[in-house]
Amino acid sequence: MQTEVLKLDARDNVVIALADLHQGQQVRVADAVYSLQSNVAAKHKFAAEDLPVGADVIMYGVLVGKAVKPVHKGELLSTGNVRHQATDFHEKSGAYSWDPPEVAQFKERTFLGYQRSDGQVGTRNYWLVVPLVFCENKNINVLKQAFEEELGFAAPQVYRQQVAELASLYQEGRIEQIKTHSFSGGSPRPRSAKFFSNVDGIKFLLHEGGCGGTREDSNNLCGLIAGYINHPNVAGATVLSLGCQHAQMGILREQINKRNPNFSKPLIMLEQQQSNSEFAMLSEAIRQTFLGLMEANQCVRTPTPLSHLCVGLKCGGSDGFSGLSANPAIGRQNFALDLSAESFRRDVSRARTFGFMNEVARLWNAGFARGASFENTVVSDEARLHNAEGLRYADECVRHKVLDVIGDLALAGLPLLGAYRSSRGGHKLNHAVLTALMADRSAWRVVEAEPARRPRVEAGAGMVGGMVAPAYGPDVS
């Protein structure tokens, strides 16, 4: 069936499986019929023709590999029979054309979007606060704390009360009690009510540029900021400038105009060296930003034709599904665990963190991750693992995700009883779950647990597991 496979370019000699395919199965691409010589998992590829040793492997219409073993038509392409290969970069050599798909069935469909005066439509309604030079990063953080906490956008400060309790003991001279003090477990300060119901949030961006460098550097930075400001999900922006840097307000205005001559969003631009003081600039920034948020709050979601929806995908390297799928060298991993001291030591304790070769090399070149090595990190590229000794577990990557969960959720301060499930999780998600759980005092309680009760960990297709769910209350997995 056509929906089971995809050939990206007429010049390709590989076909991508959109679903799990089985040996002996016949699939059709245009006028060609293929009989599969092996099982082909979703997102993987098979040969569209016989490939002798040394034959080019073509995908996206370009060279992506070389056959190192004979590959039969309909046979799975893998690291066992193909090696990466690419042509040199060169200037555009021809025009590209494509036939748009038939979309008549979606013509009457709509989505609820934020319509901008220039014709763009956003799916979110954010205000942006950004510096023109890194010298203003400190002031951006000052504005971030003030606006997020007072307008109801900040996450609950779960541990502030614990610090306050210890500070109180210190002031009272009860120093020894600090070592054994049991925290009250009371709810943190409730989140402020959200003032602007139609504003999805305020985004505070930081960077390390804008001061020195060349004019090209300044143009590039201002172009990047202009792209953010012009984004349909942005309702307006506040820009802070020192005044003496290369990246000037005039350059930013030029870059915005290049992208959108009809730009009409609220744009607040303040320069510290033109203000009487830093205090005066920040006070004015707060006043004008608040007025801008009032204006942004007047924008409401309205039904909009689907043709206005623009979807961006993050590239996933050479993956046939690009930004929609996992790295094929890691694949689809599942893991479930009944957590105990024994299962922790046996099943997850040795699982290493993992990353991709291009990221590791970039970090090393920048002077970071100096402690990373093949002994403590699983390293892969888009096709294969680079660790000579292989993996400690066949599914080591998902087991390390489980290890992350166990460590992150241990910050609760007590063992948590229940089950925790997560899809494509990480530290950020784990922290968000724990923060939401602890902020809702009705969702958990402290109990005397029986030693035999063990947390349950479940992980499935691209999922990772851990050890936590509330003892009772809403599902936050």
pLDDT score, position 235: 96
The segment with the largest mean pLDDT, out of 188-197, 208-217, 258-267, 378-387, is 258-267
- Does residue 121 have a pLDDT over 70? yes
pLDDT score, position 361: 66
- The whole model's pTM is what? 0.53
From 2.30.130.110, 2.60.210.10, 2.60.40.60, 3.40.1130.10, which CATH number describes the 2-84 domain?
A: 2.30.130.110
Query: Cα separations (Å) of 3 from 21, 27, 42, 78, 146?
Result: 12, 9, 12, 22, 51
- Going 409 to 412 to 417 to 423, the CA torsion angle's sign is negative
What confidence tier does 461 reach under pLDDT thresholds 50, 70, 90?
very low
* CB atoms closer than 10 angstroms to residue 148: 16
What confidence tier does 266 reach under pLDDT thresholds 50, 70, 90?
very high
Q: Looking at 64-68, 409-413, 421-425, which range is the least confident one?
A: 421-425
* Residue with the larger pLDDT of the pair 457 and 311: 311
Q: If we measure between CA atoms, which residue out of 353, 352, 359, 365 comes closest to residue 382?
A: 359
Residue-wise pLDDT for 182-230, tens only, equals 877 555 555 556 778 899 999 999 999 888 778 888 889 999 999 999 9
For domain 121-155+191-296, which architecture applies?
A: 3-Layer(aba) Sandwich (3.40)
Mean pLDDT of the chain: 82
Looking at the chain, the domain(s) classified CATH 3.40.50 span 121-155+191-296
Residues 6 or more apart whose CB falls under 8 angstroms from that of 99 comprise: none
* Residue with the larger pLDDT of the pair 263 and 476: 263
> Residues 301-320: what's their mean pLDDT?
72
Q: If we measure between CA atoms, which residue out of 375, 374, 381 comes closest to residue 359?
A: 381
Strands 234-241, 126-131: parallel, antiparallel or unpaired by DSSP? parallel
Burial class (CB in 10 A: 0-12, 13-18, 19+), 206: middle
pLDDT score, position 214: 83
Phi (first) and psi of residue 292, to 5 degrees? -65, -40
Looking at the chain, the domain(s) classified CATH 2.30.130.110 span 2-84
* Residue with the larger pLDDT of the pair 4 and 77: 77
pLDDT score, position 294: 94
* Residue with the larger pLDDT of the pair 363 and 15: 15
pLDDT score, position 327: 55
What confidence tier does 475 reach under pLDDT thresholds 50, 70, 90?
very low
pLDDT score, position 280: 93
Give percent of the chain with pLDDT exceeding 70.
83
> Residues 169-188: what's their mean pLDDT?
80
Would you say 380 and 327 are in contact if contact means Cβ atoms under 8 Å apart?
Answer: yes
* Residue with the larger pLDDT of the pair 164 and 15: 15
Residue-wise pLDDT for 47-86, tens only, equals 999 999 999 999 888 898 999 999 999 999 998 999 988 8
pLDDT score, position 224: 92
Would you say 242 and 278 are in contact if contact means Cβ atoms under 8 Å apart?
Answer: no
pLDDT score, position 15: 93
